[in-house]
């Protein structure tokens, strides 16, 4: 550790981003010979080759990708230190970067709203995306935690997970959809509908595919794939033949505002519960601890 320097780590990240030593040198304020020397010293310190020299530029080796991951985590932790110290000095209440999958947006919104009532000077960054993308952001230190599912990762042991809430699902559609208002709807009646869904391999998409398989129905073609709740509801609002599978929380919010309606379709499969996922071994900040308590209050 005594032989590693912050500028070397910044150079490592800059090389990956620019693909060349000259471009990286300009980013970190070094001459090209100085950057070359710093890279050689870093490789000598770690006793590995970090980049492969090719006619396309510098390409990270397997060891380089590993070093880059930790360099980004170190950089993120230093940035978090800066945010925390600035917050303490200014009385701003700290900074929280939190991710969420689409279905948990209403839940997280309630929890953050409660938290801001307790910490009115706190700043919050909220990122909505798939579990896969959110886990990558956690691993790179870009998020403190996310409400998602660690099961989609190839290395779930790299994360710590806290149970948040079981998820229940609804099928929603335009209020003028032909099946709206029916006492009961069968899945086969929606086989020819155009579905708005998550992309393949995501938990909610797998659940829907399982429902069709167990009903001995072909999975619909010509899908609309999105991870955005706003896109989903906007598309439903403009097309009377579309249907979508969303969490009950999302369905309740949009149905309450008259934007869409819920179809009387009973699903047989159970969804995976929400988890609050963070990087294993990462220190838990005071604001993250407050969010966990707020989530517990919201979930009852």
Residue 289, token pair as written in the block: 């601890």
Instruction: Give me the residues paired with residue 53 across strands.
Output: 58
pLDDT tens, per residue, the chain with 300 residues: 566 777 888 888 899 888 888 888 888 888 988 888 888 888 888 889 998 888 888 888 999 888 888 888 788 777 777 766 776 565 456 788 999 999 999 999 999 999 999 888 888 999 999 999 999 999 888 899 999 999 888 888 889 999 999 999 999 999 999 999 999 999 999 988 899 998 888 888 999 999 999 999 999 988 999 988 889 999 999 999 999 999 999 999 999 888 899 999 999 888 889 999 999 888 788 889 999 999 999 997
Residue 162, token pair as written in the block: 């806290």
Residues 6+ apart with CB under 8 A from 155: none
Residue pair 51/60 in contact by the 8 Å Cβ criterion:
yes
Q: Where do you find CATH 1.10.10.10 in the chain? A: 6-85
Residue pair 169/247 in contact by the 8 Å Cβ criterion:
yes
CATH topology of domain 6-85: Arc Repressor Mutant, subunit A (1.10.10)
CATH code reported for the domain at 93-167+273-299: 3.40.190.10
Instruction: Give me the residues paired with residue 232 across strands.
Output: none
Q: Where do you find CATH 3.40.190.10 in the chain? A: 93-167+273-299
Residue pair 291/98 in contact by the 8 Å Cβ criterion:
yes
CA–CA gap between residue 151 and residue 173 (Å, rounded):
29
CA–CA gap between residue 292 and residue 162 (Å, rounded):
9
Q: Where do you find CATH 3.40.190.290 in the chain? A: 169-270
pLDDT score, position 281:
84
221-228 long-range contacts (CB < 8 A, ≥24 apart) are: 222/194, 223/194, 223/195, 223/196, 223/197, 224/194, 224/195, 224/196, 224/197, 225/196, 225/197, 225/198, 225/199, 226/196, 226/198, 227/101, 227/102, 227/128, 227/129, 227/130, 227/198, 227/199, 228/102, 228/128
CA–CA gap between residue 147 and residue 142 (Å, rounded):
14
Residue pair 27/14 in contact by the 8 Å Cβ criterion:
yes
Residues 6+ apart with CB under 8 A from 59: 19, 51, 52
CATH code reported for the domain at 169-270: 3.40.190.290
Residue 24, Cβ neighbours under 10 Å: how many? Answer: 24
Per DSSP (E only), the strands in the chain are 51-54, 57-60, 95-100, 123-128, 145-148, 159-165, 169-173, 194-197, 224-225, 242-247, 261-262, 274-279
Whether the predicted model's global pTM rises above the 0.75 cut: no
């Amino acid at each position: 550790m005594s032989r590693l320097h912050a500028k070397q780590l910044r150079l490592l990240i800059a090389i990956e981003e620019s693909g060349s030593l000259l471009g990286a040198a300009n980013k970190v304020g070094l001459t090209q010979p100085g950057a070359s020397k710093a890279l050689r010293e870093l490789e000598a310190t770690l006793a590995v080759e970090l980049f492969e020299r090719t006619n396309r530029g510098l390409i990270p080796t397997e060891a380089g990708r590993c070093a880059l991951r930790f360099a980004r985590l170190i950089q993120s932790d230093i940035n978090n230190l800066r945010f925390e110290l600035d917050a303490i000095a200014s009385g701003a209440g700290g900074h929280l970067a939190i991710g969420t999958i689409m279905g948990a947006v209403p839940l997280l919104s309630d929890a953050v709203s409660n938290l801001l009532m307790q910490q009115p000077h706190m700043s919050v960054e909220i990122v909505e995306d798939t579990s896969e993308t959110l886990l990558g952001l956690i691993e790179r230190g870009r998020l403190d935690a996310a409400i998602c599912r660690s099961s989609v990762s190839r290395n779930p042991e790299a994360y710590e997970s806290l149970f948040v809430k079981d998820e229940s699902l609804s099928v929603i559609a335009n209020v003028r959809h032909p099946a709206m208002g029916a006492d009961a709807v069968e899945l086969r009646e929606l086989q020819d509908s155009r579905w708005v869904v998550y992309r393949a391999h995501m938990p909610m998409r797998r659940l829907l595919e399982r429902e069709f398989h167990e009903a001995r129905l072909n999975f619909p073609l010509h899908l609309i794939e999105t991870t955005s709740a706003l896109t989903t509801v906007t598309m439903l609002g403009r097309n009377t033949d579309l249907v979508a599978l969303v969490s009950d929380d999302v369905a309740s919010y949009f149905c309450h505002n008259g934007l869409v309606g819920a179809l009387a379709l009973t699903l047989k499969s159970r969804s995976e519960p929400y988890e609050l996922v963070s990087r294993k071994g990462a220190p838990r900040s005071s604001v993250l601890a407050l969010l966990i308590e707020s989530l517990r209050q919201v979930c009852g």
